[in-house]
Every structure is written in structure tokens, then in C-alpha cells.
Amino acid sequence: MLPDSRNPPAHQLLAVEEENATPLQAQGDGNVGNALTAAARLGLSPRIFSKVGKDAAGIRILEELEGDGVDVSHVVCR
């Protein structure tokens, strides 16, 4: 990529003042998660059969799906 005014080099990036910054909020997405959430919102009882990592990202995905009304009891965490 050629440098231009829209893509300044990393050493020229401006820092955002803390009081103007918003906290990072990670959210899961993707076709399966969106479809399961939509099904739950329509009053259905969706469930997922899958495997996720036993780390912060995997736990967050399960918590988010469960919070949306998706049955995650058949998901393996490893």
C-alpha cells in the first residue's frame, strides 16, 4: 500500500485522549450466532452443538449465546 494522507505511518498516529475514548466492547458475530439469536428472538428454542476453546474468547461466546436464549449445553469446551 502506498502511503497517503488517509493512511499515515504508525509513528504519526495520534493518541486519543482517555476522556474521549469509549471502552472496547467485543461481540460475537457470524452466520451461526446471528441465526441462533434470531431464532431465539422469534420464540424458538435453538441449540448449538459445537466445540470452543476453554479460554476467555470461548467463554465469552458461550455467555453471549446463552444470554440471547440459545441452549449451549451441548457445546464442548477444551
> Domain locations in the chain?
49-78
Answer for the pair 16, 53: CB distance below 8 angstroms, yes or no.
Answer: no
pLDDT digits (tens, 9 = 90+) for 21-70: 677 666 666 899 999 999 999 999 999 999 999 998 899 899 999 999 99
Residue 3 has pLDDT above 70, yes or no: no
- Residue 49: per-residue pLDDT: 95
- Residue 26: per-residue pLDDT: 65
Where do we find the cell 446463552?
66
Where do we find the cell 449445553?
73
**What element of type H or E holds 48?**
strand 47-52
